Structure formats: structure tokens, C-alpha cells
Amino acid sequence: MQFEVFTLLPEVFSPYLESSILQRAHERELINVRVHNIRDFTHDKHHTTDDTPYGGGGGMVMKPEPVFEAVASVLGPQPACPIILLTPQGRVFSQAIADEFSRYEKMALVCGRYEGVDERIREHLVTDEISIGDYVLTGGELPALVLIDAISRLIPGVLGDPQGAADDSHAMGLLEYPHYTRPPEFNGWKVPEILLSGDHGKIEKWRREQALLRTLKRRPDLLEKAELSDKERKYIEELKRNA
């Protein structure tokens, strides 16, 4: 997967991308992240990328020329890949969207900044707009890293465990079941006996039930869209009655 990132703060990306799983994925050529400084595509001595908004109001707006030129210089005049604007006005990012994006060979991420971007960038350049939540950040750099991380985990070979991403919270439509590791007892708190039993069938059943229970308690809204069997739906109704 090739990520082309367009930003005013390229220095933000290296510390995270050069760590842990993403670094190993890059070394194994499973992902490649190229970060482009939008300021490099300005033509005045101050490298101006923003200006005051027409009609008045506070804040500054990202100018269209440097963004269009940056994208065209890297992707060509008619880009064939998705161009994603990171903005609080976009559709809210989810595991399903991460899975959708992981199927592309290349994608571009445009990091908004200041009060926002010139509307012509939205109308005539980007193909999609993504938000990572209903709150406002100072720029799109952190959201871009969130997308890169979430999408990369779904690319075959990036995680050491091939099933790791499939078991994650939201991947199966539910929150993930509880995890335990050594020691078997800590401060008097014991690991559930079933996890020490070696009976994989019972362990899988326990984990699924715990995922259902945790989702019901913390994110009951997810149960409306989760793919559940009739037996699991009856189990949830029983949990509700006994709550």
C-alpha cells in the first residue's frame, strides 16, 4: 500500500512511522508512506499557504494553488487513486472504512489546517472526506496517522498474527473480549479458570459471550448492526432481563 501524504507539518510523521509495527511493515515493503510538504509548491518568498477568508471572519484558510499543485506534481494531472481530505466535516472513520481503504494499492491524504481549506479543494480535488470523531483538532496530521495505522494493520503480513486484525474490537462488529496474561494470579485477582483449561472450544465460546456482554454494557448501539445468530440474540435478551 502506497500512502501519499500532503501536509504543512511533515516533521510530525517520522517519529510514529519509524516505530514498531509500521516501521517493520515499511522495511518489508508492505507499506510505503511518502510525506510531501505543501509549502514546497508555493512560489513566493514567504511560502504562503493560507490567506484571510472572503466575507470576513476569524482564522485563516488554506489556499487552493499549493494544494492542487502538490497533488498534481506527485499524482499527475488526473490522479487515479482516492484523495482523502482529513476534516471534521467528513464521514466518521470506522473499521469498515479502514477495511474499504485497505483494498486500494495507493491513496492520498490531504491534511487540512487553520480554519479549513478553500472550498474549491473540496469540490474539484478530493474524492472523499474523513473525520476521526466529532471534535476539532488543530490539523489533519494526527487523523492521517490514525488512518495509516488502522489501514496498515489490515494489509496481509503487517501483523505477526494473521488473525490479529480479525479479532480486534469493531472488526467483528463487537467490542473485543477481555485479555489476560501471566501471572495467573496478581494481587489476589485470578485469571478465569476457563482460559487455563486448554479446552479451545469452551474458550472460544467464553470469549464470544464476553464480547457480547462487554458490547451490551459499553456500546449497545453496536449490537443493532452486528451479525449475530438467533442463539446469541437470545443470550443478549437474557442478559438484559438479568441486568
Active-site hit among 100, 115, 176, 232: 115
- 113: nearest Cα among 133, 132, 92, 85: 85
Active-site hit among 66, 113, 129, 153: 153
Q: Is 115 a catalytic residue?
A: yes
Q: Is 88 a catalytic residue?
A: yes
Q: Is 184 a catalytic residue?
A: no
Angle (CA) 137 97 144, round 5°:
35
CB-based burial label for 21 (10 Å; 0-12, 13-18, 19+): middle
Active-site hit among 88, 113, 141, 143: 88
The secondary structure of 71-102 as a DSSP string is HHHHH-SS--S-EEEEEEEEEEP-HHHHHHHT
Q: What is the DSSP letter of 140?
A: S
Active-site hit among 69, 168, 176, 209: 168
With H, G, I as helix, E, B as strand and everything else as coil, classify residue 241: helix
Contact, 148 vs 104, CB < 8 A?
Answer: no
Contact, 47 vs 37, CB < 8 A?
Answer: no
The catalytic residue positions are 88, 115, 153, 168
